[in-house]
Amino acid sequence: MAMNSVGRGDTRPQADMASPPVATFTGNRGLQMEEGLIFEQGQDGRTAVDLPEPKTAELRIGNVKPRTSIGLPGLSEPQVIRHYTRLSQKNYAIDAGLYPLGSCTMKHNPRLNEAMARLPGFADIHPLQPISTVQGALEAIDSLADWLLKLTGMAAVAMSPGAGAHGEQCGMIAIDAALEARGDKRKRVLVPESAHGTNPATAAALGYAVEAIPATEDGRVDLEALKAKLGPDVAAIMLTNPNTCGLFERDIVEIARLVHEAGALFYCDGANFNAIVGRVRPADLGIDAMHINLHKTFSTPHGGGGPGAGPVVLSEALAPYAPASAVVRGPNGFTLVEHAEGASFGRMKAFAGQMGMFTRALTYILSHGADGLLQASSDAVLNANYVLASLKDTMSAAYDGPCMHEALFDDRFLKDTGVTTLDFAKAMLDEGYHPMTVYFPLVIHGAMLIEPTESESKEAVDLFIATLADLARRAKSGDAEHFTAAPRLTPRRRLDETAAARKPVLRWRPTEQLDEAAE
Amino acid sequence: MAMNSVGRGDTRPQADMASPPVATFTGNRGLQMEEGLIFEQGQDGRTAVDLPEPKTAELRIGNVKPRTSIGLPGLSEPQVIRHYTRLSQKNYAIDAGLYPLGSCTMKHNPRLNEAMARLPGFADIHPLQPISTVQGALEAIDSLADWLLKLTGMAAVAMSPGAGAHGEQCGMIAIDAALEARGDKRKRVLVPESAHGTNPATAAALGYAVEAIPATEDGRVDLEALKAKLGPDVAAIMLTNPNTCGLFERDIVEIARLVHEAGALFYCDGANFNAIVGRVRPADLGIDAMHINLHKTFSTPHGGGGPGAGPVVLSEALAPYAPASAVVRGPNGFTLVEHAEGASFGRMKAFAGQMGMFTRALTYILSHGADGLLQASSDAVLNANYVLASLKDTMSAAYDGPCMHEALFDDRFLKDTGVTTLDFAKAMLDEGYHPMTVYFPLVIHGAMLIEPTESESKEAVDLFIATLADLARRAKSGDAEHFTAAPRLTPRRRLDETAAARKPVLRWRPTEQLDEAAE
Amino acid sequence: MRYLPLTDDDRKGMLARIGVSSVDALFADVPEAARRKGKIEGLPDHAGELDVERQMKALAAKNMPAGSVPFFVGAGAYRHHVPAAVDHLIQRGEFLTSYTPYQPEVSQGTLQYLFEFQTQVGLLTGMEVANASMYDGSTGCAEAVMMANRVTRRSRAILSGGLHPHYAEVTRTQARWTNFTAIDAPADVEGKEDLAALVDDQTSCVVVQNPSVYGHVRDLSALAEACHAKGALLIVVVTEVVSLGLLTPPGEMGADIVVCEGQGIGNALNFGGPYVGLFATREKYMRQMPGRLCGETVDADGKRGWVLTLSTREQHIRREKATSNICTNSGLCALAFTIHLSLLGEAGLTKLARINHATAIAAADRLAKVPGVTVVNDSFFNEFTLRLSRDAASVTETLAARNILGGVPVSRLIAGQPQLNNLLLVAATETTTDDHIEALAAALKEIL
Amino acid sequence: MRYLPLTDDDRKGMLARIGVSSVDALFADVPEAARRKGKIEGLPDHAGELDVERQMKALAAKNMPAGSVPFFVGAGAYRHHVPAAVDHLIQRGEFLTSYTPYQPEVSQGTLQYLFEFQTQVGLLTGMEVANASMYDGSTGCAEAVMMANRVTRRSRAILSGGLHPHYAEVTRTQARWTNFTAIDAPADVEGKEDLAALVDDQTSCVVVQNPSVYGHVRDLSALAEACHAKGALLIVVVTEVVSLGLLTPPGEMGADIVVCEGQGIGNALNFGGPYVGLFATREKYMRQMPGRLCGETVDADGKRGWVLTLSTREQHIRREKATSNICTNSGLCALAFTIHLSLLGEAGLTKLARINHATAIAAADRLAKVPGVTVVNDSFFNEFTLRLSRDAASVTETLAARNILGGVPVSRLIAGQPQLNNLLLVAATETTTDDHIEALAAALKEIL
Ligand SMILES: Cc1ncc(COP(=O)(O)O)c(C=O)c1O
Ligand SMILES: Cc1ncc(COP(=O)(O)O)c(C=O)c1O
């Protein structure tokens, strides 16, 4: 590894010296702090904001009573800062290490994007200000939309969905609307077995019977099976491409042809668009709708679970059905269509979309440019194939390469070791790695889906590979306990999820209430 | 403790379960990452900035050769972010825990101050822009100066010194200049034994013989000894008040009288001004000069060692000698005197001072207001006395209370335990506490100087007290090994300072150079 | 490219290990016809920070920030002062750049704040349980109706005429395409509607907003009883979360589901998003909730910790049988909310709400004195409706030209109802000064 | 008060444990005469964030930010683009709110970056060792002279006429009060001074700036030789650190001590501070250096780590025998420097320097065409001197009135030398656009 070939005394690649058990009074372990709930730290009357007295004590709240007590804890600012700083220190993050969660695209989140999203001209404008006072915001949305259209080759884009699943819903409603418009109500939606859970959930919510399409040996849609399932009551296929096994659907053009021939429409789950940006225009594959997770492909930060944004690109056939709000470029500047007009199917969300995500994504896109986006997807695919090639003999690859942006392994290499995929993942935590996505896609036994992304250096990927290889050797060598007892070096060890679900405790309650409840 | 009386399952006060030793391949331990030097991660041609091509390749650099190689490593932005994020995770900080470093005043650093200092109107202005374009900056400096003058009651303030020690130098030069102006060159400066190292260092640099004033049993200047030392060749006394033992110099008014009587001047080290802000005006004590560490009393962040700012307030007698640059309020706005005029002794530093610290301190001061500053110093003193009262029987207090903002202990309670002050401090690291200041002031054996500051809640101070009491009990119980082996849970265990000093390695060098050097 | 660490040498070495000669070879599965040679046309190449910053600032400069002018715009998004601590903390990489807490051992930070968030939402709304957030209030509203349909096994929802029109549209869109019926009550400008009469034993739920989009504040207890009498649920929508610092919470009025737009605490206006939907209900409906839930448990050493729980409701486990398709939610906005609310605490939130109310009273009283202006409301929290002597949309444009953002014309929200054209929604918060109110009053006096 | 966690109940309980009845009792040691009763007069009480923010923003609004106008001001402080990553990282609480790394086991983050900083400074300046920072370049300059005095046991320093006048003043002030002699060479506007002749065997050092304050770039090798021949040291001052990306470093020219203002990398203009002084020397003088030093070592487990070292030079150990009284230095600014330089790397810094130089060439060539303007310099890095047809100070005021910050009149730096009154220092960096240059040229054409 380059990073260790120079310098001296770098301790990284050495095995860590085991230190003896140490008990502490506080429960803290050096810089790893124990921290109670915010509710356990409150005191009456204390607050971390200084506010002036209200100008009047008068109340004009009709027949509603003013509230007497809420139950919120009172803390000072230093306490709140410390509390959330400590909580943050219990999290893994891209900023701190490789985060190879397949399908989730944990790539670098540039801080420039954060700074730009916080310009008062973007952050401090209201969605219902007069249109004349938000021309820059509309232009930014329009620019981003223009990039998305050019990169996908599609006819239109609905910007408002709040995340990928919301985008799926938007796209599928558009398909519904188009079918309805031609008086052709259909009943079934075809979804590969390997699909992300949001696909069947979305289709089912719209009242469709969801039918699984099986996969071939090599991890793609079984074309013959698909043909057999297609028919006049199939409304759409929902296909992820590159698919959730990290593979490009080789027959996708043919699939599109067959789907259209059957009078159905083609919804493409674009969560993995990041593998092909700049290299393949989805329009050229024959799709009708695709959501783009700005929080994956265009790097708006995941933020511990959100927010995201899921604009949906649409074909000519679906464009008329796009929901409000929509930005329109006109001769005298930009306007915002805020009411569903014409064939528009309605509205997905209040206001005009996840503006804060748009500014970040646009900043990311302008920074990369056409050449950079192409290089990014190339590097993402290169890194994944490098992992696949380097580990396929040590671990067990689900499919031969080449893969796209993520490499899929199964648990055959753990056979008879007493180590499960979950154990293997937990041992990675002790090594300072967030595990890959595990047990997804469901079609692969003990699946491990590794997406390094383009943000990782070769040095980092090399160390990751070496670590996984070492763990695999260790598992095979019979040291199952190293895995089943893992993690042991994390802020918490394995958590009892069964107990959590059996008698759910979803919120803190003051002791008195708990006692009452127990009575 | 209030925070544990409600809620349930809070693990904080329990003793931590010891976990078995675990070796890892990476050397990482869960979220605690190993990280090499930036120089060990570079690759040629890689950079984390994208710059356009220069408009011309022409060089106009006279007879100087353009540089061919520097030796800097090339990294991408994600690598740099990760590197410094990981480094930060190896640091203790106020944000993460109680930081009771006596004399250092590790109080809460409000983020509002950071935000205000970064307003382009403050951060993006040049010190040599036309004065008409920086009126707001000069007004901010003037406002801060006004607060400092009102809080101290002094006649003038020199704003430019870069930190406390620089302020000392400024004040002592002013004293020098005043003495010189009256044709009265003197040779000696009196400094208490307990003084901070910067005091004698400053006096010595100005060519003075530094003479120690002994302390009384109760930790104050020995008035009789002082009288004996005062004489016509004494230029000044440098006295910290509250002093470095955390005590108010009871006789300070008398001391000032005696010093002045002897024709000398009174330099007060104001590092501990935070104990008395709003309660005592130093002018009323009879001092002639005092620096104020904005990075202590007024909470500009310490930043791992700086920057700070050390404005010096001056008496009428010294005011004429203040250095450039100085802000002057005039009928047509503010002006900046940039050249030493009249009796001014010169210039301490380029430009007009640590503006970025001024804006932070002013924000802090405006936030607190006169009432809040008084409450802050009251709470600081209360917290310290609470620690003193709570631990004086478990540990050994150097002096009886009341103390000011910090409580001083010695190592008598560790007698015959085999545990030193240093060991005790290192055991605190395992408990998640930064130790107090140790072995300072030098006059106290094995000194432990605890300054909780006003930013700590009673709950936090209670847990701190309980932890120290537990450690003290543990030490007395004969478990010396727990201390001598500490710390064991920190990113590094005890570091070999002797080896570091014996053959100093002050920078990284590429392996080739090291090999050459070894030959 | 500053974000890409691989060097050309790296790439060569890696291709060699893979055993292909170029990256193109890795894309062999792409049908020939769909492979693009060279870059996609019409798009610029990469740009440095300075350059991108200039482009983005140029766009930002074409907008009129709320903070730069007298500002009275609300109608579902409110400008409150967010302490600097909030933005500092949510930008810590450990929060910002982490994923959904699927590996709880290294995600306790996220999980614990979600648990705190759920608790805060429960306390604020007066409900028993809350989820870990929805995209925003409007999507939460639609999800609430779908949940009510599941709980009651009915499919007729009644939407109040005081419900924010965008919320109603989102819910109607859901209704239309996921097959339930949404009955719209007429615009309730005066705040006098009585929906109880519409509730029958086909009704799954009544959705009512409090304060209503026109600002009226009402006790909903009677409506709740009417709903419950017919086996329907009462869904209460709150678009201004700060109001919960002053008003009896929906939970105490008998609400079964409370949906709230949480933006007002911790989050900037952001031209409409990202925001954060609060979603709370009674314990007995817990398993019908959409979205993620964080629950308490213990680890292998017996220490308290948190995990995502009850995920058998969710799409990634339950797939086509999930309670909702939501996956990514509003995590970081929820964190901002949680931190801001922790800073406020009981005393702070209560006072903040009082200040908002007092400021709005001052604004209403001052504006009522302007000829051509009538205040419609008897009751309100921090927003009320004005009836102007002429078209409100053109008035707001005229005000904007004078650098005053004077409110939201109702016609902006509801198209095609000319009788609403003169109505203007005016909001005031703790950021509104006397000078702002005076400026608006003076300008209106001239314009009307 | 939001920053104070103690409640009145807390205070009561604590006083009880202490055994006093009031906090006042804790101040019993304060002489009666000096005790103030009640608050200090004439000062306002505490204020909330919103209020303070308004006050501070009002002040900020009275300044003209460099980024808002064509900007050519330099003379010791330079406006460069600092990547957003820098400010993000230095605001992490673990860096921002930590103290000097006195407990190395929990300060490895700070120590490691200081070690990296020292290495970077060594590489940039071409010197062997560097310290962990000084307040800024000017104080570093004075410290360098005092160090040279210690090393040579002499006390006569020669200050170049090309040295920044503030640096010269700071050094002269030190000289005057710490008893050494500083000999000022006359202002070297043309960049032709020859100091070698002044060096004698009483000379402790020659202090020369490169590029000089007038912008001239010179090879100092001959001067270094002349110094060494007489047993004197050559101190080279660099006020624009970015120049080290293009020019042969002082170390290669034979400098013994290099002092550099590091602001230009990583740090904003900040109206003059805080900045960061870089201080480097030869290994043999290591123990004579002022300031903190970070050194490599191992821990009890044999792992590499870092500590503050050689502190026997420093005031806290050595007291009156210390090499300097410096304690607090410029830690966080050094971190900003280190991060920015890590982002730049070899390729980035080199290119950045080239861009600066090329932009300055373009500016010089364009301005030279303006009637009434003569470019004084044959050589420069990114700043040069113009001789105008009239008083430069009034010209900059006129430019400012037209929203152009056109440079620094030499008379602002050196008072009382009328022959310098028409000289204007003009700097250009990567942030300077063609439009800016054109705007300045056009305005000068009208004004002159
Ligand atoms: C393949 C796939 N489809 C859809 C989604 C849903 O996207 P979101 O989480 O943005 O709703 C995901 C996200 O995890 C995904 O990986
Ligand atoms: C008592 C005392 N005096 C002087 C100083 C020096 O201040 P600075 O570090 O700002 O130079 C300190 C700082 O530690 C101090 O505690």
Contact C49 D92 (CB under 8 A): no
D388 bridge partner residues:
D373
How high is the mean pLDDT of chain B?
94
Axis crossing angle, helix C165-178 with helix C137-152, rounded to the nearest 10: 40
State yes or no: pLDDT of C319 exceeds 90.
no
B126 contacts: CB under 8 Å, gap ≥ 6: D66, D71, D73, D77, D79, D269, D271, D405
B448-483: buried (b, 16+ CB within 10 Å) or exposed (e) per residue?
bbbbbbbbbbbbbbbbbbebbbbbbebbeeebbebb
State both tokens at C282. Answer: 């009674």
For residue B310, the CA-to-ligand 2 centroid distance in Å is 9
DSSP annotation of C379 reads S
State yes or no: pLDDT of A315 exceeds 50.
yes
**pLDDT value at residue C321:** 87
State yes or no: pLDDT of A144 exceeds 60.
yes
Closest Cα of chain D to A46: distance in Å? 7
The 10s digit of each residue's pLDDT in C146-204 is 999 999 999 999 999 999 999 999 999 999 999 999 999 999 999 999 999 999 999 99
For ligand 2, what atom is nearest to the CA of residue B269? 3
List of chain D residues whose C-beta atoms are within 8 Å of the C-beta of residue A109:
none
For residue B197, the CA-to-ligand 2 centroid distance in Å is 8
The 10s digit of each residue's pLDDT in D235-278 is 999 999 999 999 999 999 999 999 999 999 999 999 999 999 99
State both tokens at C340. Answer: 């801001």
The 10s digit of each residue's pLDDT in C61-81 is 999 999 999 999 999 999 999
The 10s digit of each residue's pLDDT in D58-109 is 999 999 999 999 999 999 999 999 999 999 999 999 999 999 999 999 999 9
Closest Cα of chain A to B269: distance in Å? 28
Axis crossing angle, helix A355-391 with helix C8-18, rounded to the nearest 10: 50
CA C418 to CA C409: how far, in whole Å?
A: 12
The 10s digit of each residue's pLDDT in C140-162 is 999 999 999 999 999 999 999 99
State yes or no: pLDDT of B18 exceeds 90.
no
For residue A322, the CA-to-ligand 1 centroid distance in Å is 21
**pLDDT value at residue C320:** 86
CA B414 to CA C306: how far, in whole Å?
A: 41
End-to-end CA distance of chain A: 63
Closest CB from B11, B33, B78 relative to A27: B11
CB pairs under 8 A between A and C: 742
Between the CA atoms of D350, D351, D353 and D358, what dihedral angle is there, to the nearest 10 degrees?
140
Contact B106 D99 (CB under 8 A): yes
The 10s digit of each residue's pLDDT in D343-389 is 999 999 999 999 999 999 999 999 999 999 999 999 999 999 999 99
Query: What are the DSSP calls for C157-173, one per residue?
Result: EEE-TTS-HHHHHHHHH
**pLDDT value at residue A304:** 96
- Helix count and strand count (H, E) for chain D: 15, 13
State yes or no: pLDDT of C95 exceeds 80.
yes
CA C157 to CA A41: how far, in whole Å?
A: 42
Q: For chain B, give the percent of residues with pLDDT over 90.
A: 93
The ligand whose atoms approach the alpha carbon of B307 most closely is 2
φ and ψ of C258, to 5 deg: -120, 130
**pLDDT value at residue A518:** 55
Closest CB from B30, B429, B508 relative to A490: B30
Asked if A458 has any chain C CB less than 8 Å from its own CB, the reply is yes
CA B350 to CA B128: how far, in whole Å?
A: 11
State both tokens at C380. Answer: 């309100």
CA A93 to CA A108: how far, in whole Å?
A: 10
State yes or no: pLDDT of D38 exceeds 80.
no
Closest alpha carbon within chain B to A471: B25
**pLDDT value at residue A12:** 35
CA C131 to CA C143: how far, in whole Å?
A: 12
**pLDDT value at residue C313:** 86
In chain A, which among 431-450 make CB contacts under 8 A with chain B? 431-433
Nearest CA among B225, B205, B206 for reference residue B215: B225
Rg of the Cα atoms in chain C: 25
Contact C1 A48 (CB under 8 A): no
CB pairs under 8 A between B and D: 744
State yes or no: pLDDT of B436 exceeds 90.
yes
**pLDDT value at residue D93:** 98
Nearest CA among B236, B240, B228 for reference residue B443: B240
**pLDDT value at residue B11:** 36
Going by pLDDT thresholds of 50, 70 and 90, the confidence category of residue C231 is very high
What is this model's ipTM? Answer: 0.97
Question: Is D275 strand, coil or helix?
Answer: coil
Closest Cα of chain C to A312: distance in Å? 16
In chain B, which among 36-95 make CB contacts under 8 A with chain A? 36-37, 39-41, 43, 50, 76-79, 81-82, 85-86, 89-95
**pLDDT value at residue A215:** 92
How high is the mean pLDDT of chain D?
97
State yes or no: pLDDT of B15 exceeds 60.
no
**pLDDT value at residue D422:** 98
Mean pLDDT, range A36-52, rounded to an integer? 96
State yes or no: pLDDT of B100 exceeds 50.
yes
State both tokens at C407. Answer: 């409110």
**pLDDT value at residue B517:** 57
Residue B517, Cβ neighbours under 10 Å: how many?
Answer: 8
- Chains touching D by CB (3 or more pairs below 8 Å): A, B, C
State yes or no: pLDDT of C397 exceeds 90.
yes
Going by pLDDT thresholds of 50, 70 and 90, the confidence category of residue B33 is very high
Instruction: Please tell me which residue, A6 or B149, carries the higher pLDDT value.
Output: B149
The 10s digit of each residue's pLDDT in A432-450 is 999 999 999 999 999 999 9
Mutate to test the interface with C, among D1, D4, D7, D49 (most CBs of C within 10 A): D49
CA C301 to CA C323: how far, in whole Å?
A: 34
Question: Is A214 strand, coil or helix?
Answer: coil
**pLDDT value at residue B515:** 64
Closest alpha carbon within chain B to D248: B67
**pLDDT value at residue A2:** 30
CA A398 to CA A320: how far, in whole Å?
A: 41
CA B266 to CA B238: how far, in whole Å?
A: 6
CA D161 to CA D214: how far, in whole Å?
A: 10
Closest Cα of chain D to A274: distance in Å? 23
State yes or no: pLDDT of B103 exceeds 50.
yes
CB C129 within 8 A of CB C289: yes
State both tokens at B438. Answer: 């140790």
Mean pLDDT, range D320-337, rounded to an integer? 94
Residue B189, Cβ neighbours under 10 Å: how many?
Answer: 27
In angstroms, what CA-CA distances link D330 with D114, D275, D336, D408?
A: 11, 7, 10, 26
Contact B385 D179 (CB under 8 A): no
List of chain B residues whose C-beta atoms are within 8 Å of the C-beta of residue D408:
128
Mean pLDDT, range B488-507, rounded to an integer? 96
Contact B27 A40 (CB under 8 A): no
Closest alpha carbon within chain C to B95: C89
For residue A53, the CA-to-ligand 1 centroid distance in Å is 47
Between the CA atoms of A228, A232, A235 and A240, what dihedral angle is there, to the nearest 10 degrees?
20
The 10s digit of each residue's pLDDT in A83-94 is 999 999 999 999
**pLDDT value at residue D247:** 98
